[in-house]
Copies of this chain bind each other. A is one copy, B any other.
């Protein structure tokens, strides 16, 4: 029951990419530098996000990443599943069927324990799917009265954003 470190990097990266203007892209190296993490490792997760249809890539010089859809349509669940994989956390190995006394019935009812665990995970995912990247940014802006955090991000984007036009 632990999420990989890359999830946090991925979410922060998506949040930052949501701040650039339409048509602009940001190189993975810039994202890694801003967050102070390994560029190669971040790249790995950005590729996963790209494969999941959350990010778009622009190859070549002046290339980089941008959101593939609006921040309102990207939920935390999308990002988490893209990075961590979509398999449920609790994998019922049906150990009832092992051992010397296996459950005889072929059309075996799903294990009640498994059902309960999956219910809990559905609740977890539902909670995550309820939060969009746009809402996160809105929350941050609402509490950032001094504007320091926003200014920091904007300054960095001004410096590193690449507009194709």
Binding site for B on A (CB under 8 A): 1-5, 7-9, 11-12, 15, 33-37, 76, 80, 84-85, 87, 89-93, 95-96, 98-101, 103-105, 109, 112-113, 116-117, 119-121, 123-128, 131, 136, 139-140, 143, 146, 148-149, 152, 155-156
On whether the beta carbons of B103 and A149 are closer than 8 Å, the reply is: yes
On whether the beta carbons of B95 and A8 are closer than 8 Å, the reply is: yes
For A1, list chain B residues within 8 Å (CB): 1-4, 80, 84-85, 89
How far apart sit A134 and B120, CA to CA, in the bound complex (Å)? 17
| Partner of A36 from B33, B99, B113, B140 at Cβ < 8 Å | B99
Given contacts A3-B90, A89-B1, A152-B103, contact A37 B112 (CB under 8 A): no
How far apart sit A136 and B116, CA to CA, in the bound complex (Å)? 8
How far apart sit A119 and B57, CA to CA, in the bound complex (Å)? 32
How far apart sit A4 and B93, CA to CA, in the bound complex (Å)? 11
How far apart sit A36 and B101, CA to CA, in the bound complex (Å)? 9
Q: Nearest residue in B to A120 (C-beta to C-beta)?
A: B127
Q: Nearest residue in B to A99 (C-beta to C-beta)?
A: B36
For A105, list chain B residues within 8 Å (CB): 146, 148
On whether the beta carbons of B37 and A98 are closer than 8 Å, the reply is: yes
| Partner of A127 from B5, B8, B123 at Cβ < 8 Å | B123
Given contacts A103-B152, A124-B121, contact A113 B136 (CB under 8 A): yes
